[in-house]
Amino acid sequence: MGKNVLLGVCGGIACYKAVEVASRLRKKGVDVTVIMTKSATQFVTPLTFQEITGNPVSVDMWDKVQHWDVAHISLARKADFALIVPATANILGKLAAGIADDMLSTTLLAVTKAIYLAPSMNTNMYLNPIVQRNLKLLSSLPNYHIIKPASGHLACGVEGVGRLPEPAEIVEQLEKDQLAEESLAGKTVLVTAGGTREAIDPVRYIGNRSSGKMGYAIAAEAVRRGARTILVSGPVALAAPAGAEVSKIETAREMKELSERFFPQADITIMAAAVADYRVENPAPLKIKKEQEALLVHLVKNPDILAGLGKIKKEGQVLVGFAAETHDLLAFARQKLVKKNLDMIVANDVGRKDAGFNVDTNAANLISKDGKIEEIPLMSKSEMAKVILRRAEALLSK
């Protein structure tokens, strides 16, 4: 496969399963570099991992340097992705707080690629509100992915959640996410994300509730599949996906300009941004003072970016839009698909509390030009991004 993985091993009884994870990855042609915490060496020796991986094992920040560069930086640069097995409550807390006090935590803070965390601990520890808060925080970040623990008999003698999944299951998930062939290598994917803002005055604006999470997940997945990825983003509180070419905008007209500039280069364009339909005709040059009982603001229609791209779309290009609706979802989505000359539309019911804006999960109906409707159940936005890009790839291959 030619991939490099940084395997972090923390001090938990499930350490022995990390040995099998390393072995299975090696059998798939993955170059595995291991960093162990000092606690982990009480369960399994570094020599065990060294023999399995064929690489030196790092434990202490002050060990003899094995690489030409600063050790933790060179290991972080080398990794195509990182995997922590088992991910203890301790390492979860450190990562959530940005603490770097040993070789593993220091290296992980320098990793810009995907980091997979496989929590394993006592049930009460796992369900502790602080641990759950840390997991929620980490899962909200674009490069952190949580491998959910299994339920069953734990080493402490109790039954419950907190058991590390079997090594085969962990490697199977990595195969789906990271070890697949780069199916979009040589292709260009254009993604828009986030909401736009239209000024009322220098302080206030008209906006919407879009967090940009769906568009950013799509961009991250496009990078993972080997595509040159161009991301045009409205204002969001998200870290840019590593490897994407990011252009920041604020208004709908700015997004239109950049989208039309990059569109001719794109093989697949996915317009996930929530663009403001209207803007203030004459924004006030100075802050409007609160002196009137009522304020009248005259709105004018913004340009329809998606429809404009549909008009200039050439044969061989795939154009995907989103329909964020609160009622008559499928009817409105079908109209938009036809009217704007799309190849596929992602229809979201944003009235749902567990899908749409400002949440980490999504559910949708994918409607293609031939009228086929595919219902996608509730899943994480990163998983939804995989589904959307798989369907877009299929359209491109036609």
pLDDT tens column, 74-91: 788 888 899 999 999 999
From the list 130, 156, 295, 300, the catalytic residue is: 156
Averaged over 109-132, what is the pLDDT?
93
Region of 128 on the Ramachandran plot (φ > 0 left; ψ -120 to 50 alpha; else beta): beta
Averaged over 228-239, what is the pLDDT?
95
Residue 2 has a pLDDT of 64
Residue 70 has a pLDDT of 47
Residue 92 has pLDDT above 50, yes or no: yes
What pairs with residue 368 in β-bridges?
344
pLDDT tens column, 348-374: 988 888 887 888 889 999 999 988 999
pLDDT tens column, 254-266: 999 999 999 999 9
pLDDT tens column, 42-73: 999 999 999 999 999 999 887 665 544 545 57
Residue 68 has a pLDDT of 42
pLDDT tens column, 127-142: 999 999 999 999 888 7
| Percent with pLDDT over 70 in the chain | 96
Averaged over 105-128, what is the pLDDT?
93
pTM above threshold 0.75: no
- Cβ atoms of 75 and 33 closer than 8 Å: yes
Residue 183 has a pLDDT of 84
Residue 112 has pLDDT above 90, yes or no: no
Least reliable range by pLDDT among 29-33, 64-68, 184-188: 64-68
Question: How far apart (Å, rounded) are the C-alpha atoms in residues 88 and 85?
Answer: 8
Residue 293 has a pLDDT of 85
Reported as type and span, the H/E element at residue 75 is helix 71-78
Residue 281: CB atoms within 10 Å: 9
- Cβ atoms of 149 and 161 closer than 8 Å: yes
Question: How far apart (Å, rounded) are the C-alpha atoms in residues 8 and 257?
Answer: 44
- Tell me if residue 15 is catalytic: no
DSSP assignment of 13-46 equals: TTHHHHHHHHHHHHHTT-EEEEEE-TTGGGTS-H
